[in-house]
Structure 1
Amino acid sequence: MNRDVMIDLQQVSKFYRGQKAPVVENMSMTIQQGEIIVLVGPSGCGKTTTMKMINRLIEPSSGRILIDGTDVTALDGNDLRRQIGYVIQQVGLFPHMSVATNVGLVPKMLGWDRKRIEARADELLHLVGLDPAIYRNRLPRQLSGGQQQRVGVARALAADPPVMLMDEPFGATDPMTRDRLQNEFLRLQEQLRKTIVFVTHDFDEAIKMGTRIAVLGERSKIRQFDTPENLLASPADSTVAQFIGRGARLKQLDLRRVDAIRWEDVPLIRLDKSNGAKRQLDQAEGSAALTVDADNRPLHWVSSHDLTSRPGVLDDAGQAVTTVEPEATLRDALDAMLASRDGAAVVVDEQGRYAGTVTLDGLMQVIHHTPEDEPGSGVPDQRSGVATAAELTPEQR
């Protein structure tokens, strides 16, 4: 086996007694290290069954499944599952156990000592954006749905597994929380480089999350297994095209991140240093400015009219700001622009501090930018304003 292959499904099938047709029939798939492979398809097509056969929550009827070259049937089922992170839609936290105890379950089963488990739990809570001092001793019922989902991700990462299985992990959260969790997970994946099999029924989520996407038909027959870009540009057949749905051009905005395009700056007015704010705005080229707090966190869009009608009162003047993070997609940025009076999305860092703005003009340049326009030198494209995050310095942003 290629040493870069982490998961290899070879002619895998699943039959249930009393049923004429298999649930999964002769599924073959090779997954490289560090990929996020998303399984999408209609309800009942066998995508969750396929995923569960990887950690033998469901035993395959035939075929072979190899993880890092080892046949999973040669391993004890419980030992196998302790080596694979598993995140589900319902989270599955034990309600009578604290957050830290939930996170440390698998390390405890593996025989880690108490201090090591506590240190790992605190490390992972930090990683998923939950302050251990605040959350480690709370019970699941004392958390929001999004916070519970973060704890579920932390628990799946606790023993540092090379493989993670995620079964509609963000499906039970509201749209705003789901977007934030997706962005946070993609940020984590940049650091951790896990090999992930991700099941969803939401094709937009598949585009956003997947390195490659497998569109499945009945009995987990692969209709197309390709990158999001190729799926949108060249659906293999009418069934795949129907599953993608209308608006393929718009869906391509889910393929690019906010940190991959240039950011612009707008005038900032700090509430604690607002003297001369109108003069500062009048001298600026733009028609609006952002008020920010002492930590540079955006508060409101304000115009000259706002400053004139309520001189010296900036705490709640103007329009509330809709923000996006660098890991957000350009579609997220477009949503923020449409909600903004000034047609710009405000980019903030992990601490919520102002980092720049993305404008509708900049977004339109990306939409009309074609692959053949891209320069081969690695220098940011001055015509389109497009560059990768690695190519941009903070000054360029």
Structure 2
Amino acid sequence: MTDDVMIDLQQVSKSYRGQKAPAVENVSMRIHRGEIVVLVGPSGCGKTTTMKMINRLIEPTGGRILVDGADVTALDATELRRRIGYVIQQVGLFPHMSVATNVGLVPKMLGWDRRRIEDRVDELLDLVGLDPAQYRHRLPRQLSGGQQQRVGVARALAADPPVMLMDEPFGATDPLTREKLQNEFLRLQEKLQKTIVFVTHDFDEAIKMGSRIAVLGERSRIRQFDTPEHLLANPADETVARFIGAGASLKQLNLRKVEAVDQEDAELVRLDESPASVLNRLETSGEWAVLTTDAERRPQRWITPSDLTPRHDNLDGVGIAATTVEPQTTLHDALDAMLGSSCGSAVVVDEAGRYRGIVSIESLMKAISDMREAERNHNRAVADIVPAPVVPAARTDGDRTVNGVQVPLDGGGPR
């Protein structure tokens, strides 16, 4: 196993007594350090079973699983699980324990001293956007679903494991909370660079979250294992294409984030400025509207000249509410937010909700045009280099994986 491979599944199978066919059959997959590999497929295909065999919540009946070079079946199962973070859809917090106790559970089992555990708990709560002073002593029932999910992520990170397993971690939350949790987790991953196996049934989520995606069929057989870009552009077969579904071009908007798009500057005014001053700013700047911000530079509302009348003696409630997006928001979600707003643009904010810039529909359309041109150039380059017929799945880390078989790009036979 090479140094950059963290998880190596070698012909892994799982059979249950009384069942003719195995639940998982001869799955081989290499997962590199610091990447998020998403397992996606229809219900009952074995994706969760495959993931649970990595930390031996389910024992494999065939093949080998190596984590950082060590065969998991040769390790103590309890110790192995303490070294691998695990996040599930139902969160699984202990209801009678405080947030701090839940988060500090694994470090306590590992023998950390009290002060070190307390410091780690506060650090992680702050990392996932929960004020330690406000939340560390609360019970899970005193939290919203999204807050519970954040605590679940903090608990999985508590002992700083190199590997995390995530089983539909955001599936039980409402769409707005889910998007925010996805964005926050991607932001965390940029800092932490964990190796993550992520299970979902939602292909749009797979595109957004995954460095690579394994599309699984029955018995976890790999139909295609590839980057999101190449999956959308070159599905390996009709089964993969049907799973991707209609609108593959539109789904490509999930491949780029707002942070990659050129941002413009808005004319900012403070909430404590006078309406007369704002009118003057509008006239001198030539802008169609100004954006009010609070004392922390958090965007509030757009104000146009027609919003201000002589009866206004302050800016409270004047104008239309600003639509905000985060840098990790996908272009698909940003476009959706813009179409639902009244001004055709969105305000980009940082993790604390502070103003960073503006993205408009025009800037998104330019980004989409650039993406299409880059794809055309890529396809032309591939056509010049690789003679037809081309193996359907595109290159990822040296080999292609088509229908569960690794195929070298040099044209040789399956490995």
**Structure 1 CA distance, aligned partners of 2:182 and 2:159?**
22
How many angstroms apart in 1 are the aligned matches of 2:345 and 2:337?
A: 7
After TM superposition, give the deviation of residue 373 of structure 1 in Å.
8.5
C-alpha displacement of 1:64: 0.2
Give the aligned partner of residue 220 of structure 1. 220
Does 2:5 correspond to 1:2? no
1:232 paired to 2:232? yes
> How far does the alpha carbon of each residue in 1:198-236 deviate from its partner, in whole angstroms, 9 at most, with x for none?
000000000000000000000001011000000111111
Residue 291 of structure 1 deviates from its aligned partner by 1.4
Q: Which amino acid aligns with 2:221?
A: K
Match of 2:79 in 1: 79
C-alpha separation in 2, matches of 1:144 and 1:123? 21
How many Å apart are 1:368 and its aligned residue? Answer: 1.1
Q: Match for 2:181: what amino acid?
A: L
Q: 1:261 corresponds to which residue?
A: 261
C-alpha distance after superposition, 1:238-267 (max 9, x if no partner): 111111111111111111111111100121
The number of equivalent residue pairs is 375
Instruction: Return the alpha-carbon distance in structure 1 between the equivalents of residues 160 and 184 of structure 2.
Output: 18
C-alpha distance in structure 1 between counterparts of 2:321 and 2:288, whole Å: 16
Q: Which amino acid aligns with 1:356?
A: G
Secondary structure at the aligned position of 1:25 is classed as: strand
Report the secondary structure of 1:308's partner residue: coil
1:372 deviates by 6.4
Q: Is 1:287–2:285 an aligned residue pair?
A: no
CA distance in structure 1 between the partners assigned to 2:341 and 2:305 by the alignment: 17
31 and 265 in structure 1: CA distance in 2 versus 1, 3 angstrom threshold? same
Paired AA for residue 46 in structure 1:
G
Q: Report the more deviating stretch, 255-264 or 267-276.
A: 267-276
Hey, what does 1:315 align to over in structure 2? 316
DSSP-derived class of the 1:273 partner: coil
Q: What is the TM-score when the length of structure 1 is the normalising length?
A: 0.92
Distance 2:49 2:154 in 1: 24
Q: State how far apart, in whole Å, the 1-side matches of 2:294 and 2:322 are.
A: 13
| Structure 2 unaligned residues grouped into runs of 5+ | 378-415
Q: C-alpha separation between the residues in 1 aligned to 2:252 and 2:343? A: 24
Greater shift, 277-286 or 142-151, is seen at 277-286
8 Å CA contact retained: 1:310, 1:317:
no
Structure 1 residues 26-57: Cα deviation after superposition (integer angstroms, max 9, x where no partner): 00000000010000000000000000000000
In structure 1, what is the Cα distance between the partners aligned to 2:65 and 2:308? 65
Q: Kindly state the Cα deviation for residue 296 of structure 1 after the two structures are TM-superposed.
A: 1.4
Q: Which amino acid aligns with 2:262?
A: R
Percent identity between matched residues is 74
Equivalent in the alignment of 1:368: 369
Contact between 2:45 and 2:218, CA under 8 Å: does it hold in 1? yes
Unaligned 5+ segments in structure 1 are 375-397
Deviation at 1:308, TM superposition (A): 3.4
Provide Cα deviations, 1:313-341, integer angstroms capped at 9, x if missing partner.
42111111121111111112112211221
Aligned counterparts of 1:93 and 1:372: Cα–Cα separation in 2: 44
**Amino acid paired to 1:314:** L
Matched residue, 2:410: none
Deviations along 1:76-135, one digit per CA (max 9) or x if unpaired, are 100100000000000000000000000001011111111111111111001101111110
Looking at structure 2, the residues matched to 175 and 359 of structure 1 have their Cα atoms a distance apart, in angstroms, of 23
Name whichever of 148-157 and 320-329 sits farther off: 320-329
